[in-house]
């Protein structure tokens, strides 16, 4: 149980650092990323949509699709960073 709490804390800290890097380094310097983050940054550059909100929407769609292929434990673990990063960006 203690290891799981430590894992969750590590995931949350990593997600917060990733969100800070996106907001403080990538977007102001107009850099690009790959994956879902890259799509959200492109949408921000084109339409000025919130990167946090777009990341939440796109990650939610991917989690719903991935739920069919992943077991419940992996899906719940993946849910944590994919939904904590957008809340850090907003």
- Kindly state the tokens that stand for 4: 């799981």
Range of the domain at 70: 2-89
Total domain count for the chain? 1
For residue 89, the model assigns a pLDDT of 61
d(CA 47, CA 15): 25
| Chain segment 16-51, per-residue pLDDT in tens | 898 889 989 999 999 988 999 999 999 999 999 998
Q: In a 3-state reduction of DSSP, which class is residue 69?
A: coil
> Is the predicted pLDDT of residue 69 greater than 90, yes or no?
no
Q: Average pLDDT for residues 60-85, to the nearest whole number?
A: 79
Read off the pTM: 0.79
Backbone angles phi, psi at 48, to 5 degrees: 55, 35
pLDDT band of 70, cuts 50, 70, 90 = confident
pLDDT in the model for residue 39: 94
* Contact between 88 and 19 (Cβ < 8 Å): yes
Tokens of 70: 């992943």
Question: Quick check: 72 pLDDT over 90?
Answer: no
Contacts for 82 with CB less than 8 Å, ≥ 6 apart: 55, 59, 60, 62, 63
């Amino acid at each position: 149980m203690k290891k799981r709490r430590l894992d969750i804390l590590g995931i949350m800290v990593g997600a917060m650092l990733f969100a800070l890097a996106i907001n403080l380094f990538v977007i102001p310097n107009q850099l690009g990323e790959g994956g879902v983050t890259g799509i959200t940054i492109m949408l921000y550059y084109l339409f000025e949509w919130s990167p946090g909100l777009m990341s939440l929407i796109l990650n939610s769609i991917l989690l719903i699709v991935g739920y069919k292929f992943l077991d419940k434990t992996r899906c719940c673990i993946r849910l944590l960073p994919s939904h904590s990063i957008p809340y850090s960006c907003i």
